[in-house]
A and B are shown apart, each in its own frame.
Chain A
Amino acid sequence: MSKEIVLTILFMTAVTYGARVIPFILLRNMSLGGFWKSFISLVPVALLAALVIPELLISPENKIGLLNPFLIAGISTFIFARKVPNLFYSVLFGMLVFWGVDKII
Chain B
Amino acid sequence: MDTKGFSYGLQKSITIGIGYAPVAITFGILSLQSGLTIWEAGLMSLFVFAGAAQFIALQLIAQGATIWVIGLTTLIVNIRHVLMSFSMIRFFPGISLGRLSLLAQGLTDESFVLNSKLLEDIGTPEERSRVALGVNIGAFLSWVIFTFVGAWLGKQMAITFSGFNFALLALFIVLTVGIVNRSNIFTYLFAGIIAVILKILIPGKVYLLLSVGIAATAGALIEYYRGSQENLEIKHE
Q: Which residues of A contact B (CB under 8 A)?
A: 1-2, 4-17, 19-25, 27-32, 34-58, 62-64, 69-70, 73-74, 77-78, 81-82, 85, 87-88, 90-99, 102-103
Contact = CB atoms under 8 A, between A and B. Distances in A.
B221 A22 contact: no
B187 to A, nearest CB: 5
Majority secondary structure of chain B interface residues (helix, strand, loop or mixed): helix
B235 interface: no
A52 B67 contact: no
B48 A21 contact: no
A14 to B, nearest CB: 8
Interface in B58-115: 61, 67, 70-71, 74-75, 78-90, 92-93, 95, 97, 100-101, 103-105, 107, 109, 112-113
Question: What is the interface residue range for chain B against chain A?
Answer: 35 or more
B81 A50 contact: no
B53 A88 contact: no
B144 to A, nearest CB: 13
B82 A23 contact: yes
A13 B74 CA distance: 9
